[in-house]
Amino acid sequence: MIAASVTPADLTITPRDRRFGQGEATPRWWHNGNPYASALYNALSATFPEGEAFFVDSVRQFRDGVEPRLAGEIKAFTTQEVIHSREHLAFNRRAADAGYDLTKLEAQVHARLELTKTRPPIVSLAATMALEHFTAILAHELLADPRHLDGADATTADLWRWHASEEIEHKGVAYDTWLHATKDWPRAKRWKVKAKVMLFVTRNFVVDRTAGALELLRQDGIVGAKAWAGVLWYAWVRPGMFRKIFSAWVSFFLPRFHPWNEDDRALIGPEVSRDPTYRKVRRAV
């Protein structure tokens, strides 16, 4: 029997057709002159163009037969993710213009996704469902604590806040699609598969993003213990985003978990929610 969704009844997923940094140059160390912070965010951005296209394809494969409400959310989710891919591709090009070579990072993402695609489609959906929770809790922390973008290049900080806001809005779509796709599974099987997939993607996420940041620092001439110490301090100690999301990550494994057990839409700031340039897509009811 399918588990119940707790997605808020008044949720509207709103694709905002924003463009950031057109015709501008992004500073090499755009994050307050901090090479470690800049490298970690750049390594994360390198995953988005191909990764979010993968998310869209994984969810859309299971849209047949979903209720109209979820069908509308999948449509809005797809639009948001396509725009995210476009804007992070543009950001990555500006990073390349600043002197970084992202090809090694992008090749690693491509290899991970191609391996996943060799498995049954439900595996891709499970990976998407787990990674969407991961990105949602990162987005929550980013918006909840202004220190994460303190001193960053204004345009680039706006890009990350906009992206984080929309990740929060659509954080339940992949999970609700997963519940639909596994509606005939026993509860124990559903939990076992999602738990194993989350552990796997978490390991890959942390290892690959750390390796990516170290590669970009190598291109800056920062290597060895200095590079490791800088990345680990920034990610795990101060401001310590990876450390701060731990309890939210653990919640994924608890009984009756759903991404919307915490309604954090209040974190979406007025500069995003009131943006007059957005293209609103309300879900079908």
pLDDT confidence of residue 275: 54
pLDDT confidence of residue 269: 75
pLDDT confidence of residue 20: 97
Tell me the residue range of the domain where 69 lies.
35-268
pLDDT confidence of residue 281: 36
pLDDT over 90 (residue 8): yes
pLDDT over 80 (residue 276): no
pLDDT confidence of residue 27: 97
Phi, psi (deg, nearest 5) at residue 161 = -70, -40
Per residue in 33-53, pLDDT (tens digit) is 999 999 999 999 999 999 999
Q: What is the mean pLDDT of residues 223-233?
A: 98
Round the average pLDDT of the chain to a whole number and report it.
93
Does 41 fall in a domain?
A: yes
Per residue in 205-218, pLDDT (tens digit) is 999 999 999 999 99
pLDDT confidence of residue 271: 61
Does 15 fall in a domain?
A: no
pLDDT confidence of residue 5: 77
Which residues lie below 8 Å from residue 284, measured CB to CB, with a gap of 6+?
68, 69, 71, 72, 75
Does 43 fall in a domain?
A: yes
pLDDT confidence of residue 284: 28
Tokens matching residue 185: 């599974």
pLDDT over 50 (residue 279): no
pLDDT over 80 (residue 272): no
pLDDT confidence of residue 23: 92
Query: What CATH number is given to the structural domain containing 103?
Result: 1.10.620
Does 4 fall in a domain?
A: no
Does 229 fall in a domain?
A: yes
Per residue in 134-172, pLDDT (tens digit) is 999 999 999 999 999 999 999 999 999 999 999 999 999
Share in percent of the chain as helix, strand, coil (round to 5):
65, 0, 35
User: Which candidate, 222, 184, 183, 260, places its Cα nearest to that of 8?
Assistant: 260
Does 26 fall in a domain?
A: no
pLDDT confidence of residue 99: 97
- Contact 19/275 with Cβ under 8 angstroms? no
| Cα separation, 209 vs 164, whole angstroms | 18
pTM for this structure? Answer: 0.93
Q: What is the mean pLDDT of residues 266-279?
A: 64
Does 14 fall in a domain?
A: no
pLDDT band at 3 (very low <50, low <70, confident <90, very high): low
pLDDT band at 106 (very low <50, low <70, confident <90, very high): very high
**Which of 29-43, 170-184, 229-243, 268-282 has the least mean pLDDT?**
268-282
pLDDT confidence of residue 22: 93
CB-based burial, 48-63: b 16+ in 10 Å, e otherwise: bbbbbebbbbbbeebe
Does 121 fall in a domain?
A: yes
pLDDT confidence of residue 283: 32
pLDDT over 50 (residue 282): no
User: Which candidate, 78, 98, 204, 103, places its Cα nearest to that of 70?
Assistant: 78
**How many structural domains comprise the chain?**
1
